[in-house]
Chain A
Amino acid sequence: MLMDRQRVRDRENQCIQEQPPTCTATCPIHVDARGMIASIRKKDFSAAFAILNRFVPYPRIISRICEHPCQGECKRNEVGETIQINALERAAVDYSTKRASGITFSSRKTQRIAIVGSGLSSLTVAFDLATKGFSVVLFEAADRLAGRLRELGEERLPQQAIDDDLAVLKDLSVEVRLNARVGEGADAAASLSALTEEFDAVYLGAGPDGAASFAHELALNEGGRIAIDSLTFATSNPKVFAGGSQRYAPAAFSAITSMYDGRYAVLSIERLFQKASLSANRDQQGAFATKLFTSLKGIAPAGATLMAVPEQGYSREEAIAEAERCIHCECLECVKVCEYLAAFKSYPKRYIRELYNNYCIVLGVHMANKLLNSCAECGLCGTVCPEKLDMGDYIRYTRQATVEIDKMPPSVHAFALRDMAFSTGEQFALARHQPGHDASRYVFYPGCQLSASSPNQVFRLYEHLQQKLEGGVGLMLGCCGAPADWSGRENLFKETIAAVQKQWQGLGSPQVITACSSCYRAFKNFAPTMPIESLWTVLDQVGLPASATPRAAKTVAIHDACATRHDNGVQDSVRHLLEKLGVQVTELEDNRSLTTCCGYGGLMSFGNPEVAEKVIDRRVQESEADYLTYCAMCRDNFAGKGKRSYHLLDLICGDEDDPARKGPGYSQRHENRAKLKTRLLREMWGENVVEEKEPYELIITPEVAQLMEKRMIMVEDMRKVIAHAESTGEKILDTTTGRFLAAFRPVSVTYWVEYSVEGTKIVAYDVYSHRMEVR
């Protein structure tokens, strides 16, 4: 399976974090108001001015007279009052210490364009074309530019502001011809047809009443004005484009609309020169509805900052205060709830691309392997995402593809897969009818991790189910294959699920009852023919064992399992059982579908132990109450961090219920599973199971046991090393300590043990491993 580029792009586009905020989307020319305001917040008015100037060629004019449609849609309006964006633009202009933001010019082009009129649309066309390298000649009938803007009054728009803004035309080498009326008659400087002859294109900013002069050269609309395409600004003459108030009259003059007309008329002029479609790909031209979602949770209402002297606009301090009110619209809903997504300091759109690029690397370092293997695949992001983008699903897909091309780092998942092989192997796997039965109406599937954490409880629950259910309750021990699925081993996962299904069919396809949320999910999604029910739902129906006596005055906070975040039935059953047990429940704020992973999902604790720890730390701090889980790994992980946690079975079975107890280590987990199988075979089926006797007693100090957990080395690995050394004599004597140093490489890892032989006992002092082969 190769990664499908379209699928990657679709996922990338599903992330809305890079969608513009409403202010930008509503602005006809998409000014980055959020960015500008962020600069003001940092007290950097020059940077704010530079941002404004990047979008607006005439910032002094627009900051005074813009109709600011952006403010109408501002999200702040829902919690207080809209941000005074236009007033902040003026503050950026007023307090910037740089007067122009430095224009960048494109290379010189050969085409020449005539512009008729000097209103805001014409001036925008002049600016945009000149910066793009075109030669521009501007014809103005009067003896000065921007005549109508100058009539707005000194208070609203000072002459100085206009002059300062228009100074840029000189820098741009725009040729301005004043007293140069374009039209018919002897006093005209040129006719429109003459301009179309002399120039490669013409822009006509004729003003609201300017149609008459061009009526016999250009088609008019029903209102008697020049017919102008509202998307492309084309007229009936293919070389002539027009816009400004001539287009949108009789609506009143709008500075930002005129600027918009000019900007997008330039796009059409360029397309005319490129012989490209005038109308294609213009769906985000002008104001549009953004898909960006911004949560207003936790934002205190606040009204607009007032101006001490309204005629002077905001003071610096007032502007900064107003900028601080901006909520800086962005989504990041998933990043807020996920330590993994937060750890890599970006957001899914970027991650999706990064992971795909990482996958595509043929020669070079795969920098994003850590990003690939740190996700819990718990589905929380997809639940909180306004667009339902599930990064876990994409991670799973990418891991599968990476395994397929043999680029998955071998060491990351090796230990977990070995653990899984143990559970599906001879020492644990089992499929039996109930003792004394030759058929099964039900089969109990406790799962590998519960069997490893609480083997006695599995034993007792199986006894209980046999008593309560008619028609035979079979037992299946094994692993559902979740570790294979999480690690991207698609084929191994399919084989594992298929093997479970075959065993299940061998028992007569009974109703499956599982105690594990991951098994529940795996079977439900990938073995749909197997009818699956949660143990909790079954216990809710058939009743609890006698040992489950009500507990007075115990209060727990439920941590729901992430694998069943969308299974309300399972979650309800757990709550019913707690009610029956007389346990008081407090709900965590984020629970049920919003629950978090415990750090085990997706093999996160193997791929990125640091992030897994953060996940656990964050979760255990959410409530002072003892936690109640119904997944063995959740309990052990929380308890491992010192959080008092019960497994639901602790309360049901009434023993092994110390919520502070640490879960068993890796070796003990294997041993517990193996012993559970032996005990079941002996005590339930009355079989005589012969256990292999170890030839010596291995002494493991707490320090060595800690090293084994950290280095993921099992007792069985150590025994293999010692057995090999003792049988072959291949070992090294450290004469200073009298201890032996020996190594053994069963498959792809070399294990070393430092030990001494004390009669029939062997004492281990150190243990470590390496994957390199050394000779």
Chain B
Amino acid sequence: MAYKVIEPETRKLVCNKCQQELVLAEAEASYLGAKFEIELMKCPKCGLVYVPGSLATGKMEQVELSREDK
């Protein structure tokens, strides 16, 4: 699954620990032995990833459920 999450430009997310602004970067999502490439907002320093609610309760949930039926 290649999935791109474009954050609204008005939203500025900052990693609390590193005080770095999150940027769109490669991330990896895995479930039940399957791995998916995904672009998400990430802290460029520590790698903390932000998963937006719309993704978690949308596409991500769909993929989870379909993996569970494999």
The answer to whether A and B belong to the same complex is yes
Q: Which residues of B contact A160 (CB under 8 A)?
A: none
Q: Quick check: B47 and A775 within 8 Å, CB to CB?
A: yes
A-B contact pairs, 24 of them (CB 8 A): A365-B69, A365-B70, A366-B69, A366-B70, A367-B69, A729-B16, A729-B17, A731-B16, A732-B22, A733-B15, A741-B13, A743-B51, A768-B56, A770-B51, A770-B56, A770-B61, A771-B31, A772-B29, A772-B30, A772-B31, A772-B36, A773-B31, A774-B51, A775-B28
Q: A741 CA to B53 CA in the complex, in Å?
A: 10
CB < 8 Å neighbour of A409 from B30, B43, B69? B69
- Measured in the bound complex, the distance between the Cα atoms of B53 and A743 in whole Å is 11
The answer on a CB contact under 8 Å between A766 and B53 is yes
Closest to B47 in A: A775
Q: Which residues of A contact B36 (CB under 8 A)?
A: 772
Can you name 13 extra interface pairs (CB under 8 A) apart from A732-B15, A732-B50, A752-B51?
Answer: A365-B69, A409-B68, A409-B69, A711-B57, A733-B14, A733-B16, A734-B13, A754-B53, A768-B53, A768-B57, A771-B31, A772-B36, A772-B64
A residues near B56, Cβ cutoff 8 Å:
752, 768-770
Q: Does B60 contact A (CB under 8 A)?
A: yes
A-B contact count (CB 8 A): 88
State how many angstroms separate the Cβ of B52 from the closest Cβ of chain A.
9
Residue A496, interface by CB 8 Å: no
B68 touches A410 (CB 8 A): yes
Query: Which residues of chain B in 1-60 are interfacial with respect to chain A, using CB atoms and an 8 Å cutoff?
Result: 10-17, 22, 27-32, 36, 38, 40, 43, 47-51, 53, 56-57, 60
Chain B, Cβ-Cβ closest to A766: B53
Taken together as a complex, chains A and B put the C-alpha atoms of A733 and B17 apart, in Å, by: 10
The answer to whether A730 and B68 touch across the interface, beta carbons within 8 angstroms, is no
- With a CB–CB cut-off of 8 A, which chain B residues contact A750? 51
Q: Report the bound CA distance from A740 to B66 in whole Å.
A: 31
Whether A774 pairs with B27 at a CB distance below 8 angstroms is yes
Evaluate contact between B49 and A774: CB separation under 8 angstroms.
Answer: yes
Q: Is the CB of A741 within 8 A of B12?
A: no
Asked if A411 and B16 sit within 8 Å, CB to CB, the answer is: no
CB distance from B55 to the nearest CB of A (A): 8
Provide the residues of chain B in CB contact with A754, threshold 8 Å.
53
Q: Are A736 and B12 in contact (CB under 8 A)?
A: yes
Min CB gap B12→A, angstroms: 4
- Contact pick for A734, options B11, B17, B49, B61, CB 8 Å: B11
A758 to B61: give the CA distance in the assembly, Å.
32
Asked whether A732 lies within 8 Å of B64 as measured between CB atoms, the reply is no
A731 to B38, CA, bound (A): 21
What residues of B have a CB within 8 angstroms of the CB of A741 in the complex? 13, 50
Chain A residues with a Cβ under 8 A of chain B = 364-367, 369, 409-412, 711, 729-736, 740-741, 743, 750, 752, 754, 766, 768-775
Question: Which B residues are CB-close (under 8 A) to A770?
Answer: 51, 56, 60-61, 64
A773 to B38, CA, bound (A): 12
Minimum CB–CB distance for B45 against chain A, Å: 13
Asked if residues B64 and A771 are in contact (CB atoms below 8 Å), the reply is: yes
Q: Give chain B nearest CB distance to A266 CB in angstroms.
A: 48
Q: Give which listed residue, B16, B43, B63, contacts A772 with CB less than 8 A.
A: B63
Question: What number of B residues sit within 8 Å (CB to CB) of A?
Answer: 36
- A617→B62 CA distance, assembly (Å): 27
By a CB distance below 8 angstroms, the chain A residues around B38 are 774
Chain A residues whose CB sits within 8 angstroms of the CB of B53 once the complex forms: 752, 754, 766, 768
Tell me, rounded to whole Å, the shortest Cβ–Cβ distance linking B6 to chain A. Answer: 16
- Give CA–CA (A366, B67) in the complex, Å: 10
A409 (CB) vs chain B CBs: closest residue: B68
The smallest C-beta distance from A318 to any residue of chain B, in angstroms, reads 52
Give the shortest distance, in Å, between B23 (CB) and chain A (any CB): 12
What 9 A-B pairs come out closest when comparing CB atoms? A409-B68, A770-B56, A735-B12, A768-B53, A772-B31, A772-B29, A733-B14, A366-B69, A731-B16
Contacts of A734 in B (CB 8 A): 11-13
Query: Are A410 and B32 also in contact (CB < 8 A) when A774-B49, A775-B47 are?
Result: yes
Is the Cβ of A773 less than 8 Å from the Cβ of B50? no
Q: In the complex, what residues of A have CB within 8 A of residue B47's CB?
A: 775
Shortest distance in angstroms between A358's beta carbon and chain B's nearest beta carbon? 9
Q: Are B30's CB and A740's CB within 8 A? A: no
Given A730-B17, A731-B16 in contact, is the A772-B50 Cβ separation under 8 Å?
no
One of B16, B30, B31 near A732 (C-beta < 8 A): B16
Whole-angstrom CA separation of A412 from B36 in the bound complex? 22
Which B-chain residue is minimally distant from A740 (CB atoms)? B16
A523–B49 CA distance with the chains assembled, in angstroms: 48
Which chain B residue has the least Cβ–Cβ distance from A754? B53
Bound complex: CA of A730 vs CA of B49, how far in Å? 10
Neighbour of B64 across the interface among A369, A411, A743, A768, CB < 8 A? A411
- A369, chain B: closest CB distance, angstroms: 5
| Given the contacts A410-B68, A752-B53, A768-B53, A735 and B13 also touching, CB distance less than 8 Å | yes
> CA of A771 to CA of B17 in the docked complex: distance in angstroms?
25
Q: Which of A410, A741, A774, A775 has most chain B Cβ within 10 Å?
A: A774
Contact of A774 with B29 at beta-carbon distance under 8 Å, contacts A732-B14, A732-B15, A735-B14 already known: yes
Q: Is there an interface contact between B70 and A773, defined as CB atoms closer than 8 Å?
A: no
Contact assessment for A736 and B10 in the assembled complex, using a CB-CB cutoff below 8 Å = yes
Which residues of the other chain, A, contact B63 by a CB distance below 8 angstroms? Answer: 772
Distance in angstroms between the alpha carbons of A369 and B15 in the assembled complex: 41
Question: How far, in whole Å, are A768 and B56 apart by their CA atoms in the complex?
Answer: 7
A733 to B11, CA, bound (A): 10
Contacts of B48 in A (CB 8 A): 730, 732
Given the complex of chains A and B, what is the CA–CA distance between A741 and B56 in angstroms? 14
Minimum C-beta distance from A361 to chain B (A): 9
Give Cα A733–Cα B16 distance, bound, in whole angstroms.
6
CB nearest to A408 among chain B residues: B68
**Contacting residues, chain B, for A772 (C-beta < 8 A):** 29-31, 36, 60, 63-64
Most chain A beta-carbon contacts within 10 A, residue among B10, B30, B31, B69: B69
Q: How far, in whole Å, are A485 and B56 apart by their CA atoms in the complex?
A: 30
In whole Å, how far is A514's beta carbon from the nearest beta carbon of chain B? 35
**Complex CA distance for A775 and B63, rounded to whole angstroms:** 17
Residues of A contacting B31 in the complex (Cβ-Cβ under 8 angstroms)? 771-773
Docked pose: A364 CA to B49 CA in angstroms: 32
CA distance A670 to B36 in the complex (A): 36
A729 to B, closest residue via Cβ: B17
Chain B residue contacts of A733, Cβ below 8 A: 13-16
Closest Cβ–Cβ distance, residue B62 to chain A (whole Å): 11
A365, A754, A771 — most chain B CB neighbours (10 Å): A771
A645 to chain B: closest CB distance in Å? 31
Residue of B nearest to A770 (CB): B56
**Interface-centre pick from A730, A741, A766 (highest chain B CB count, 10 A):** A741
> Closest chain A residue to B70 by CB distance?
A365
